[in-house]
A and B are shown apart, each in its own frame.
Chain A
Amino acid sequence: MLNKPLHIIGITVMLSALSACHGILDDIYDEPSGDMTMREGQLYVDASSWTAWYYIDLLNTKEGFVQMNIPTEELPSLNTQPSALNPKPGIYTYWYDVFGAGLSNHEFQSFTPTEAQPEPDTWHIAVHRNNVRTNGGAAYETPYTSMSDLPESSDAFVNATFTEDEWNELDVWTIREQMLQGFVGNQGIEVNPVLSSWLKLEIPPVPPTFTLNNHVFIVRFADDTYAAIQLENYQNAAGVKCCLTINYKYPY
């Protein structure tokens, strides 16, 4: 009679030995890797910081990128109020209807004057999360979704309508300490609206959603050189958003 209970115990012990204390089926998951090996014509930049711009020199991507923090220290000023005709560098705090109509419903709250955004000597584009600036350039969105499908040279786009950087005080979210209340401090700065459309942030819903636009963009710089640029991915292996994998061709 005792044999049978012993069998039960035996089977139980065997089963427990098979199922690890730390779980089973690890293999169905991928391990995030720190190795961000890039192809030729590809670069990676972790632009997830809210408080810095990353400046990219397309002729010198192997040297890395120059990080320049966004000035947030308040400057004493006799006339601190900017106007539409005279925008000033600084932090523009807006209230957003985060839990209602979303980002489209917003209201200016306050302005804090700061130093202008510092820049390195040479750069082509700068990225801050989902925002992109050009160094005196302009951008055009092509219908192409693959760099290899592009025409031979940028001559094909000379008649296209390029959009220059524009003043923006709504999108470069810098100070988020009161985000839960809907208050965000934004840097007032010129950004390129076309190029910035490669990664669209939307609220609602909460938490925000990011939508990748994988079209190739053509950027015309002040020296009349061109670059083809495409955002391939906006997350790193650990799933952190605004870690950008960018395909580029320069000069194009």
Chain B
Amino acid sequence: MTATDYKVKSKKLKMKNRFHQPSVWRILLLFTFHFSLFTFPLLSHAQQQDSTLLLNDVVITGTRTPKLLKDAPIQTRLITAADIEKVDATNVEDLLQQEMPGVEFSYAMNQLKHMNLCGFGGQGILFLMDGERLAGETMDDVDFTRLNMANVQRIEIVKGAASALYGSNAGGGVINIITKEGTEPWTLNLNGRLARYNERRLGGSFGVNRKRLHNMLNVNHTSIDNIHVNNAENPATQVVTTIYGDCTWNVKDRLTYIVNDQLKLIGRAGYFYREQTRVADAPERFRDFSAGLKGLWNISKDDNIELSYSFDQYDKSDYQKITRLDVRDYRNVQNIFKGLYNHYWNSGSVLTAGADFMHDYLMNKNLGNRTESQNTFNAYAQYDWLVNTQWEVVGAVRYDYFSDSKDSHFTPKLSVRYQPIDNLNLRIGYGMGFRSPALKERYYNFDMEGIWIIQGNPNLKSEVSHNLNASADYTKGHYNFTLAAYYNNVHNKLATGVPHYLPGDDKQLYLDYTNLANYSVYGGEATIQARWNNGLNAKLSYAYTNERFPKDKEGHTINNQYIPARHHSLTARIDWDKQITRNYGLRLSLNGRFLSAVKNVEFVDYYDISKGTSTIHYPAYTLWKLSAVQRIGKAFKVTAALDNLLNYKPKYHYFNSPLTDGINLMVGVSVDIEKIE
């Protein structure tokens, strides 16, 4: 389903839900439309598109059915294309850390990126691109550079366990990136941005819209040099001395064919390439090939079916410049078939049922057998019961089966929404999350430069989490307030455990994947956002996260390879937008984020754990970005931004320090060719 379909369906739901009389709804819509025109007569075009409050936007991820954001029974954080433009984000990492508190990107070993979202990271958060899983991992996380923000319509973030709808890896939540679909007869956008360290971002998109055929082609390129950074003497733990740059190419095409009023076909294909040079003669290469076909069939006014096939292949190779050999050492291929059925009742209630099949293939030179594969099958059902205009209850169950481990799971979820008064929504829910052991975690055998051998464990159990969450949001006039709290209890967390020697060998250390003892993560978030008639918008979000350190089943402190979440974090944005003359508009934005200090317990000596642990203190920091966007005519935008406005330079570039070496000037241009007059 496209966003337009969702909106249509959602309006239809609202219609059935509240009034049961379409004509009344239409009249109200028209009234609202005219009222908004009169209420905001001075707002610019850009301002009218502003999404600060977003309450009438449609979201899909929480229930797999379209819902107005304000009526969604599962609390969903929405980031729109306008938000992305305001922070001038290049990829999902760039965006999330500027837009959301409680999210942090840090380094894992070998400078691979690791995300922590509310205490969950790596494979605990499920990333979807237009609803599809992504193949490949780099130290447990997806390759975030794949997820560039060009042509993204919106990003929906559902925190908390969502495995009842999405299966494995959705224990901490789901981040669904949804791309744009063209609506104009044709569009051609060209854009570019330059910054320090030879950072370049070039992009182009070409869209064609005919009666039954829509096509959107996107090409994007980024590059940045390696950055050598300085550290003071005597760091408390490992530091980064070179921030490795990279060069990426990302090509995506999406073709939509509307067969008739009831049937729509969507085909897509994509290619991604990234090269990173850590060793001058042997740059590392990362490639992804993706394709898919989806059919959307409206069987009747109350029933629809979605069938899809998705292919995603993520490869890693080393290019040996001297011999010109490009040698592949990793491949993950996912072939996924999905079916989804929805039935809508006149009352507004919805039944959703679906089933997926996935063949997962992994080739890794560090696997014992070099290649492994498995099939997974699941079936799920959800009933979204609109009890009345105030109460909504959503229950879901799911069954998953994994052929390699012969493991199966039954996963439930229950959510309740209550609307006691207009513009106030209260939500409460319980969800189970789980993560089946990855093939890597079961069969890995990796000699990490002689430090230790990381070993897979075929006897691993699935990680299971229980999530309780509650939230309230209230809108009054220009203001919207949101409060949310959550508690997660995690059983059998999958991780590497305590380093150990094998009997009779006191030379070689081993580090095994294992299931850890129970531990918990809890926290909350508060957001206030406002939109005034004079073009000013503001948003302030605060998140608290308490991630208790996991231990192994014997109570030993483990080798926690990732730094835990910071207790306090805050993001802030204020922007002002004004169409000054017919052909000139200006938007000024100030974005900032603050992350509190955090402590981590680490071994004093990795080779002699009897020496115990020490607590490493990682400092707090704040970063701010000031940007100005000038709109010249309808077609041109010129952007200038000062990133790291306060010229913050970390004393030590620890693995969770911001990747900055001081203030950075960014200059960009965007041209919509079809709008040139």
Contacts and interface: CB of A to CB of B under 8 A. Distances in A.
A135 B231 CA distance: 42
B295 A8 contact: yes
Contacts of A59: none
B309 A12 contact: yes
A21 B281 contact: no
B293 A19 contact: no
A177 B260 CA distance: 67
Contacts of A25: 289
B278 A209 contact: yes
B361 A22 contact: yes
Contact of B281 (A29, A176, A210): A210
B326 A28 contact: yes
A5 B235 contact: no
A180 B606 contact: yes
A210 B278 CA distance: 10
Contacts of B305: 5
B322 A232 contact: yes
B507 interface: yes
Contact of B329 (A22, A176, A180, A239): A239
A24 B333 CA distance: 9
Contact of A8 (B265, B327, B363, B606): B265
Interface string A181-221: 10000000000000000000000111101111000000000
A4 B327 contact: no
A232 B228 CA distance: 28
B421 interface: no
A21 B335 CA distance: 7
B239 interface: yes
Interface residues of A, number: 46
B605 to A, nearest CB: 6
B56 interface: no
A100 B359 contact: no
B477 interface: no
Interface string B305-345: 10111010101011010110111110101010100000000
A29 B293 contact: no
Contact of A212 (B281, B308, B315, B335): B281
Interface in B11-40: none
B450 A29 contact: no
A235 interface: yes
Given A205-B241, A237-B323, A239-B320, A211 B278 contact: no
Contacts, number: 143
B450 A177 contact: yes
Nearest to A16: B309
A24 B289 contact: yes
Interface string B207-243: 0000000000000000000001001011101110110
Given A12-B293, A100-B231, A207-B110, A235 B320 contact: yes
B451 interface: yes
A181 B241 contact: no
Interface residues of B, number: 61
B282 interface: yes
A99 interface: yes
Contacts of A204: 228, 241-242
A15 B322 contact: no
A9 interface: yes
Contact of B607 (A28, A178, A211, A232): A178
Contact of A176 (B320, B322, B337, B450): B450
A138 to B, nearest CB: 28
A239 B278 CA distance: 14
Given A15-B291, A16-B337, A239 B331 contact: no
Contacts of A15: 291, 293, 309, 311
Interface in B624-645: none
B327 A237 contact: yes
Nearest to A32: B327
B554 interface: no
B259 interface: yes
A233 interface: yes
A176 B281 CA distance: 24
Contacts of A176: 449-451
Contact of A207 (B234, B291, B449): B449
B315 A233 contact: no
A32 B279 contact: no
Contacts of B244: 205
B502 interface: no
A23 interface: yes
A22 B372 CA distance: 10
Nearest to A204: B241
Nearest to A4: B263
A91 to B, nearest CB: 14
A238 interface: yes
Contacts of A100: 231, 233-235, 239, 241
Contacts of A32: 325, 327
B241 A99 contact: yes
Contact of B507 (A99, A177, A232): A177
Given A179-B449, A180-B606, A16 B311 contact: yes
Contacts of B237: 99
Contacts of B371: 22
Interface in A129-183: 176-181
A9 B322 contact: no
B288 to A, nearest CB: 11
Given A177-B607, A235-B281, A11 B450 contact: no
Nearest to B331: A23
A204 B226 CA distance: 13
A50 interface: yes
B373 to A, nearest CB: 7
A25 B607 CA distance: 43
Contact of A209 (B279, B308, B320, B606): B279
B239 A99 contact: yes
Contacts of A20: 333
A238 B239 CA distance: 29
Contacts of B259: 4
Contacts of B487: none
Nearest to B297: A5
B676 interface: no
Interface in A11-54: 11-12, 15-16, 19-25, 28-32, 50
Contacts of B311: 15-16, 19
Contacts of A8: 263, 265, 293, 295, 297, 307
Nearest to A5: B297
A19 B281 contact: no
Nearest to A237: B325
B280 interface: yes
Given A176-B450, A204-B242, A212 B313 contact: no
B406 to A, nearest CB: 20
Nearest to B226: A205
A244 to B, nearest CB: 12
Nearest to A211: B280
A31 B234 CA distance: 44
Contacts of B280: 209, 211
Of residues A4, A5, A22, A207, which shows the largest number of chain B Cβ atoms within 10 Å of its Cβ? A22
22 contacts: A5-B263, A5-B305, A8-B295, A8-B297, A12-B293, A12-B308, A12-B337, A16-B311, A19-B313, A21-B333, A21-B335, A21-B361, A22-B363, A23-B315, A30-B327, A100-B241, A204-B241, A205-B241, A210-B279, A232-B322, A235-B320, A239-B327
Given A177-B607, A180-B451, 14 more contacts: A5-B307, A8-B295, A12-B309, A20-B333, A23-B333, A100-B235, A102-B241, A204-B228, A207-B449, A209-B278, A209-B280, A235-B323, A237-B325, A238-B327
Interface of B: 110, 228, 231, 233-235, 237-239, 241-242, 244, 259-260, 263, 265, 278-282, 289, 291, 293, 295, 297, 305, 307-309, 311, 313, 315, 317-318, 320, 322-323, 325-329, 331, 333, 335, 337, 359, 361, 363, 371, 373, 449-451, 507-509, 605-607
A-B interface, 5 closest residue pairs, ranked by CB to CB distance from nearest: A204-B241, A8-B295, A205-B242, A29-B328, A30-B325
